[in-house]
A and B are shown apart, each in its own frame.
Chain A
Amino acid sequence: MSELSTYLRLRAYRERRAVPAASRCHAYLADAPLVVVGYHLAGDPGAPVALRYGTAPGSWRTVVMAEPRNRDVRFAALTDVATDLLAYLDGFAAREEVTVLDRRGVPAGTEQVCPRAPQLFVPNQATAAWLCDTLGRSLRYLRTDGEYAVDPVLPAVGAHLSFLAGRRALPGSAVVVAAGALLTTHWVTGQLPAEDADVHAALGWVDPPDGTDGPAAARAGEALPAAGPVPDPAWDAEVLAPAIEDGDPESLRALADEALAPAWAATWRVRELVSALLAAAHAEARWESDRRAWTHHLDRVDAGTAHFSTRLDALRAFRFLGELEARTAALDRQMALDDPVVMAGYVASGEALAGTVVFRDHERRELSARGTKVLRPLLRVRPELPFDRPPGTELWLADRRSSDRQRLPAASGVQVRTGDRDADGVVDCVVVKGMGRKPEHADAALPAVGESVVLAPFGPQPVFGDTLPDELPWTHRSPE
């Protein structure tokens, strides 16, 4: 754990309230999310008990399975849910023509992309996994003919949920958002990290009601009905079992609705809290990637080719790993560049250099390896915190502020190589990229004396073609 996250946790504990770990909202917030909270039978994720869902805090529907272990009852109720879910998803089927840019940003044709995509908003990752991975898996193979035929909406919804399951595994995707994960991304509490998994407790730290404080609100949160997808054992014994015994769906619906109300309220409240933050600059670009994936998924559904494998094997596993690694690195980089509080973690650990430009020679030239004089401007930066990375460290300009702390647009791609430090700790930084070819270009691109800068270990996002072969090579297959 970095010193910054420990420091934040210590502060939260002393202040008896969660402290911000971010100053931007790093998740894209769609304007019409579908919030879903629900329970399944303990020990049996294939048997939903109740689902409460809707697109506004004050308007929802609660569907219960009056006998969750009875297949017919379960599928009848799930058909209701699936019909509503399909109606919601159908609202995002429209496409519009967009211009495709090539790698140099030159228009290279057009394509059809959904301008809006669905967003599932759930209380916690466990609910996301249950709804998308588990229910998606259990519904998508159901037959619509034969002895056990089900309504076609069930496998249709299973396919959509399976798409969301695959997508939500990717860092930075926002098609499925878990409120609990949003809390731990944007705030640090003063309790065990493991306790943060209870969204009610974590929300208590972040947003204690007036007249109380974080720890007290967390204790109160722990006492609320479980946020799902597994109900409290006591609720199972004292409420659910008698209600199922009675066999009255209406009374069960009322009881489940009541039990799920706190999770519903907490999920909406978390959305409200993060929407008060400025949107992170890269969130929109990540959402565009989600929209393209959604469009592609709809294309496959339309073409009847939306097949999902139970496990990614062979080449798909390698492609998936490559994509995960690229997206993990990209998300870390983008969050730091978008958000000064996230960047502070890199400054504190000494990986990034924050300081004031005290000297600049934007006309400086060096002899290159080929013997020609090349423009290599010099910046001297007085660090706010001692900087002790070895000379030769490569850093990129990430943030510029004027002497009165106004944020200035930072030219992208300005790369420096650190040199010696003087006795006061002032660091020489030779600009090696992004300064343009002429001194007047460098004058415009480089920070002036007196400006505050952050130089961070985040270069331009690497673009590599994937070199995976079309089929698995012989080393990875057993000989026939």
Chain B
Amino acid sequence: MTTGPAAEHGTAVERTWSYLTGGARTVVVDSPPGAGKSTLVREVTARLVASGAQVPIITQTNDQADDLAAAIAAAVAPARVGRLHSADYTQPDDAEPTIAYSARAADLAGCPVLIATAAKWAFVSGDDHHFELGVVDEAYQMSSAALVRVAGLFDRLLLVGDPGQLSPFTIADEHVVRSLATWPLDTAAGTVLRNHPDTPVVPLPVSWRLPPSAASVVSEAFYTRPFRAGSAPGERALRLTVDERDPYGTVLRAAADTGWGLLELPEAYLPRTDPECVAAIGTIVGRLLGSGASTVDPSGARPLTAADVAVGVTHRDQRAYVRAAVDASVAAQGIPPGAVTVDTANRLQGRQYEVVVAWHPLSGRRDASAFHLEAGRLCVLASRHRHACVVVGRAGIAAQLAAYPADEPVWLGADTPQVDGWAANVTFLSRLAAARVPA
């Protein structure tokens, strides 16, 4: 099979490798959700190590660095992976024995792979350390301002990331920055593409995580480069037994059958900690985990556990309420508190679950705001799952979108965002219409 998803993915990896070995100074890999970004980084790193190179890797968070270190340690063993960290970092309990930890780059000089956050790399002196090729993970989460502080350490860069994720953010007043300065908060990948327009861009064409039902929706709503699912329709299944006489059962049935469920509570304006939404999410998670659910994929069937389920929210205070409701709802099944992940979109980036329950960012609001409309936020929530996603929200989101004024400031010379949050929200909502279940 030369045109199957695995072959397409393999071709993309080989293209990346040939650009690197062909001497391209910069290569950008655009990876939609679950498209094998980490696998690609691991594969490229292993090949580079095999060729005798020392490979520095730049991540954005300590969690990402730890995850990547564990994955790469297994791939390059017995070669050592150096995990460079700050002074107040605590290493994970289940650290691989082949990972060496230190706060000083000099201690790790003998490791063929060196992994650290961008913030830590910024404190590595270019006088003492220099690398031929650096690998940037999550290059669309990294800001240009973070890249400027590390780029001098490297002669060439491979930048890998998901262009649909949340963009870099600043607490500074955007108006002040933009009136006085060239906007310094472009993404690292965007910076490289702007200054080095010859940079080859390799899109990873296949999402291994998202099922076909989700890949088409997410690709259409949030991405300019289309991608598809690696699994065929019907290859995966979510099996569950629910009482369909109420909306919770109905929406879970819809999600199991179609990959999407939209539980629509009656229209109301509510504070963002909307107690009915909190309760509904708690109930859905409780029903789901109490439904004897199992997931089926070509590797076989296995029961759905609490660790396979996540709830995505927009605000931290929502997270506190939902956590309490979910924990209470699943306690009767003997599931300990905290077993189901509940987190904000921000912190769910890069994560993967079997089933995700997403609290729609616009639910219950009187008016949409730019923050709540950000395409990356909804995209993260809608693209964490392997089987199904249940979106929970108040009716009236379409009306909010229709009433959203087009009054964003326009700065001369600034690039128009490739994906417009308003349009992405409209597309996403219209694609979910068939899965709508009124509560």
Contact = CB atoms under 8 A, between A and B. Distances in A.
Do chains A and B interact in one complex? yes
Interface of A: 133, 166, 169, 171, 311-318, 320-322, 324-325, 328-329, 349-350, 388-390, 467-469, 472-479
Contact of B184 (A171, A321, A389, A390): A321
A468 B123 CA distance: 10
Interface stretch (B49-57, B77-85, B191-199, B209-217): B191-199
B171 A311 contact: no
Contacts of A312: 180-182
Given A318-B149, A472-B148, 12 more contacts: A166-B180, A312-B180, A317-B177, A320-B177, A325-B172, A328-B171, A349-B317, A474-B151, A475-B151, A475-B188, A475-B192, A477-B195
Contacts of B172: 321, 324-325, 328
Given A329-B171, A476-B191, A321 B151 contact: no
B74 interface: no
Contacts of B263: none
B336 interface: no
Given A468-B148, A476-B195, A478-B196, A313 B320 contact: no
A318 B171 contact: no
A314 B173 contact: no
B299 interface: no
Interface in B118-168: 122-123, 126, 144-145, 147-149, 151-152, 157
B310 interface: no
Nearest to A6: B271
A317 B184 CA distance: 6
A313 B181 contact: yes
B1 interface: no
Nearest to B155: A474
B389 interface: no
Contacts of B147: 473, 475-476
B195 A389 contact: no
B196 to A, nearest CB: 7
10 contacts: A318-B145, A318-B184, A320-B184, A322-B145, A324-B170, A349-B317, A469-B148, A475-B196, A476-B195, A478-B196
A324 B176 contact: yes
Given A469-B152, A475-B147, A476-B151, A320 B173 contact: no
B191 A475 contact: yes
A133 B176 CA distance: 12
Given A475-B192, A475-B195, A476-B191, A169 B152 contact: no
Nearest to A315: B148
Contacts of B177: 317, 320-321, 324
Contact of B144 (A166, A322, A325, A476): A476
Contacts of A474: 25, 151-152
B16 interface: no
Which of A311, A329, A468, A475: most chain B CB closer than 10 A?
A: A475
B69 interface: no
B240 to A, nearest CB: 30
A350 B316 CA distance: 11
Nearest to A388: B320
Interface string B21-55: 00001100000000000000000000000000000
B75 to A, nearest CB: 27
A233 to B, nearest CB: 23
Contacts of B323: 390
Across chains A and B, which 4 residue pairs bring their CB atoms closest together, nearest first? Answer: A473-B151, A317-B181, A324-B172, A312-B181
Interface of B: 25-26, 122-123, 126, 144-145, 147-149, 151-152, 157, 170-173, 176-177, 179-185, 188, 191-192, 195-196, 317, 320, 323-324
B157 A475 contact: yes
A316 B181 CA distance: 8
Contacts of A324: 170, 172-173, 176-177
A317 B186 CA distance: 12
Contacts of A390: 320, 323
Nearest to B338: A390
A317 B191 CA distance: 14
Contacts of B123: 467
Contacts of A477: 195
A321 B171 contact: no
Contacts of A166: 180
Given A469-B126, A469-B149, A478-B195, A311 B320 contact: no
A293 to B, nearest CB: 16
Nearest to B176: A169
Contacts of B149: 318, 467-469
A321 B196 contact: no
A320 B181 contact: yes
B182 A325 contact: no
Which of B170, B176, B181, B317: most chain A CB closer than 10 A?
A: B181
Which of A169, A318, A349: most chain B CB closer than 10 A?
A: A318
Contacts of B185: 321
Contacts of B317: 349-350
A126 to B, nearest CB: 13
Contacts of B179: 133, 169
A316 B184 CA distance: 10
B191 A314 contact: no
B304 to A, nearest CB: 26
Contacts of A133: 179
A171 B176 CA distance: 10
Which of B26, B172, B182, B320: most chain A CB closer than 10 A?
A: B172
Contacts of A469: 126, 148-149, 152
Which of A311, A316, A469, A474: most chain B CB closer than 10 A?
A: A474
A403 B149 CA distance: 50
A306 B145 CA distance: 26
A191 B184 CA distance: 35
A265 B191 CA distance: 49
Contacts of B320: 388-390
A322 to B, nearest CB: 7
Contacts of B183: 317
B149 to A, nearest CB: 5
A476 B180 CA distance: 18
A133 B147 CA distance: 30
A328 B177 CA distance: 12
A473 B152 contact: yes
